[in-house]
Amino acid sequence: MSKNPKTLKPTPAPNTAPPEAPAQPTPWAYSEQVKAHFLEPKNFLMGDESQFDFNAKGTVGNKICGDEMTMYLKIAQGKIQDIRWRTYGCASAIASTSALSELAKGQALDAALKITPEQIADYLGGLPERKFHCSVLGSEALAEAVDAYRNPK
């Protein structure tokens, strides 16, 4: 059945309104140090764990965001001789753990365990308040690795 052209609805004209002005770019809420550690994380484990000679390993997860962190330590004479880590984590967790790894390398175990989120944030030139919790993920993985080293199963 053919349609009567008089009853056809007109096709709406294409939207010719000018496009909305582009939104202002969101300002970068992080310091340059955070940006640098995020883009080029220090002591990040490339490849699988067979690429690093470690004798302690700890993995933790954040139940709220689902991020996960694994820390690998080479411990000798009670000190962290070397350190690697990897994560399924956010930018803040990456930058924070990169900073933590630099702060902890060469430290005695107990000294490394005392590195606070505030020290990590200071090292990074600050972290946004709502991202502060991300700086804890690396510290928790480090504590887990030290515990595994001290209490082998």
* Among 100, 121, 134, 142, interactor with ligand FES by CB under 6 A: 134
Distance (Å, whole) CA 43 – CA 127? 20
- Options 121, 137, 141, 145; binder of ligand FES; rule CB under 6 A: 137
On the 0-12 / 13-18 / 19+ scale of CB atoms within 10 A, 50 is exposed
Q: How far is the CB of 102 from ligand FES (least distance, A)?
A: 19
DSSP 87: E
What do you get for the CA distance between the two ends of the chain, in Å? 81
Q: Is 90 a catalytic residue?
A: no
Answer for which of 43, 92, 97, 98 binds ligand FES (CB under 6 A) is 92
Provide the angle, in degrees to the nearest 10, between the axes of the packed helices 91-104 and 32-39.
90
Span of 6-14, 26-34, 72-80, 84-92 interacting with ligand FES by CB under 6 A? 84-92
In the complex with ligand FES, the residue whose CB is nearer, 75 or 87, is 87
**Closest to 83 measured CA to CA, from 68, 97, 95, 67:** 97
Is residue 98 close enough to count as binding ligand FES by CB under 6 A? no
**Rule CB under 6 A: which residues touch ligand FES?**
62, 65, 67, 89-90, 92-93, 134, 137
Active site residues: 65, 134
